[in-house]
Amino acid sequence: MEKDRGFEFLEHISDAKFRAYGKTLEECFNNAGRALFALMVNIDEIKPDLEIQTHIEAENLEWLLFDWLNELLYLFESEGLIFSSFDVSIEEKEDLYILDATCYGTKIDPTTEIDLYVKAITLHDLVVRRGPDEVSVEVVVDV
């Protein structure tokens, strides 16, 4: 089980699903990003040699997570970038959540084997849970 790494893969009928955990929102969103790329490649083999800054704003945590993962998927699809870790900060301002992140990764090598191609992040069953000691999210991706 991957839970020790901050995420685990769950059973889903036709798509892929994961749950990510953290003591804070930031740690949980970091682990959600790692889980997304772990579906596609062995993230332990990624040798980060570049940093990309991202900025996301959303009205609630569910949309923030959805937009964050979509941004990462866009960077994979359009730029050929894969990431293995993130420094995430999330700020809550009145009716807005703001995520700023540094993404650590590399340009994908043409010989890298993609285990699973993620086509899209879905809103289906997307959940953000905030407890007293842990934050968790569940995400279904279209493959």
Distances (CA, A) of 138 to 30, 46, 58, 124: 13, 24, 18, 10
Query: How far is 106 from 63, CA to CA, in rounded Å?
Result: 26
* Averaged pLDDT, 115-132: 95
Using DSSP bridges, classify how beta strands 135-142 and 120-121 pair: parallel, antiparallel or unpaired.
antiparallel
Domains, the chain, with CATH or none: 3-142 (3.55.10.10)
State the pLDDT at residue 85: 97
Average pLDDT, the chain: 95
Distance CA 5, CA 92 (A): 26
pLDDT digits (tens, 9 = 90+) for 55-81: 999 999 999 999 999 999 999 999 999
Q: For residue 2, what pLDDT band results from cuts at 50, 70 and 90? A: low
Q: Is 36 helix (H, G, I), strand (E, B) or coil?
A: helix
pLDDT at 1 over 80: no
What is the structure's pLDDT at 107?
97
Residue 13 pLDDT > 70, yes or no? yes
**Count of beta carbons in the 10 Å neighbourhood of residue 17:** 19
The reported pLDDT for the residue numbered 5 is: 78
Span between the terminal Cα atoms of the chain, in Å = 21
Residue 35 is which amino acid? A
